[in-house]
Structure 1
Amino acid sequence: MQRTFGIEEEFVLLDPHTLTAVDRAPEAIAALSGARGAVGKEFFPSQIEYASPIFTSADDALDAVWAFRRSLAAWAGAAGLVAAGTGTPFRTGPRPEISADVRYAHIADDIAGVTPDHQINGLHVHVGIPDAESGVRASNTLRVWLPTLLALSSNSPYWHGEDTGFDSWRAIHSRRWTTYGAPPFFRDAAEHEEARRALRGIGATSDPGTINWNVRLSARYPTVEVRVFDAQLDPRSSVALAAITRALVASADLSTDPQARERPSEAMDLTDAALWHAARFGVGATLVHPFSGRVLPAREVLQVLGERIRPQLVDRTERELVDELLRRAGRDGSGAARQRRAGASGLGALARLYRHELADAGNVTGLSA
């Protein structure tokens, strides 16, 4: 079965000179409302979210994602701003106001002092599932791969104008939520639903949408949602990560790995520590092997990922996108490394990187041709 998928991308609007987040998303949303897919607000009025249509092919996804990014880039250029696909803005304002929304106000009240720092942007991938039992199997399979996926997508090195030393500072921010990281291993859909009910009212978990696991079953759609990824600089990376996610979900029913079938021992479940390690180093040094738990060179773990998903990639475009992403990660590092190389030449060079990579028209059209 060729599973459907959808992509949600979050972007931040920045002042071109200081790269400080600016609250002009309502203007962008109004101007871009005719996009294929949905354009909406996020927690802060400096952020904008694009929710794609449902796709069956990477070619279709690439066309839609690129078309929206091209429109966003054109609007931002005309408005004198930089629109960036980055997990954290380079710099934030002193007293950020949240977007006008009753639900956001309730969340802000719940998370209290965490609110001003919640200026994080992610890439969320939804993959269609026939039922909740399939979703739980997919969640159990995906959970061991989450550190690798985080490292591959890491793209948020800066905060308050400084290099944090982390490749994904967004992931470190996320650890302060009531729930974070790999979901528990679930025996079946009933156990998953029991956990979701039990969490309601604990800490800042007011509804299923505030459960911040890196993988969760959607409460609204027949999908499993992967939320581990930082927002991406370029459209090819976003669609490649979606293809990898779909391939891992497709592999769930075929998996023979004990870790995907048996509840891990709490003493030996290294996933949370491996997520911190991935946030710190990205793909630039070492990663924790998803099954052995050994710390290995990142290129070796990426090779294991590539071998695992390759049989499940459905067409040439998916294979080309994924191969390109894995090859570039091994050679040049993740988006965080690209940001640092640009940032070493000053804010102007970093702004140019954000602008160029947002739509990356030449590479996208070249791949789609």
Structure 2
Amino acid sequence: MTRTRVAVVFGGKSSEHTISCATAAGVLAAIDRDRYDVVPIGVTREGRWVVAADEAGRWAIEPGRLPEVTAADGAEVTVPMGAAGALTVVEPGGVPEQLAQVDVVFPLLHGPFGEDGTIQGMLELAGIGYVGSGVLASAAGMDKHYMKVVLAGAGIPIGPSTTITARQWRTDREAAVAAIADLGLPVFVKPARAGSSMGITRVDDLADLPAAVEAAQQHDPKVLVEAGIAGREIECAVLQGRGDDPPRTSGVGEIVVGSEHAFYDYEAKYFDADHLDIRVPADVPPDVVRRMQRLAAATFEALGCEGLGRVDFFYTDDGDVLVNEINTMPGFTPFSMYPMLWQAEGLSYTDLITELIELARERPVGLR
């Protein structure tokens, strides 16, 4: 039998480049090599696609070393539009040659220029199938402002927030600050279109707001400010159903952060695992778990997601459940919450990768 050829794409132009490389390290180490031929493709911070080393260790985060894709890693790769599955490699000064005919792309890109519908649109134009959500769901899932608009329209409970555009911050800062003050303190200031807890600041005093906004704008000119919610953050994993089946949901998990961090920030998430307590399953009443599972599936469907997603909740001190966000390409290392939640359901990391690839193979590109 001819094996399915999978292009694993990682790196990218966003500030989450390093995290994407670490995700690729996990997938390259675990993917079923008896079933799939793997074509690793790295995307440099400048957006250049190159043939990457098929070496999991090369892309892992290690003490004192952060992985990065560079132009020196390999020959440049192009994706001809309309040539379904074709990839072309270009050596400097050489004649372009076909690299491989791929059956499916596994885009392990986090953040803008990858997770936000951009690569999904390119792959649709090229006629190549891919893992995960399509253009609209990816774009709406990346932009937390529009995600909340969609969820509110679907009647899904969310927390209070306000959005500050770059123009508003320049021309009508007073109104922006007033809208934030109406949320009450503390608030969390974050880039509207970034992930991995990049650029997030907890603000307990409005005097600290300008610095927090400017920190968020280092990642995105559009900033989302959310009201602080007293309670716990709980997560639920979602997998697309097979055929016409509804989305599948896992149990729920919780990450408890030590007192060294004010919240689950970037440093805590990726560089201070010793002060994290990952609880799978989370200690949540069964009826609340079922409510979260229903809301996770409803969130997945409200945005039209496909493949995978992780829905993050606030479980408030009053017993309410609010959807914080959905991640259409959640953290996907073997030690990330999404794979761990499915492992608790009996689906191993390798089998989860296989399931996602097979879901992508069954799905046509184009309107569906």
The two structures have a TM-score, normalised by structure 1, of: 0.29
Which structure's relative contact order is higher, taking Cα pairs within 8 Å and 6+ residues apart? 1
- Greater C-alpha radius of gyration: 2
The two structures have a TM-score, normalised by structure 2, of: 0.30
Greater share of residues in strand: 2
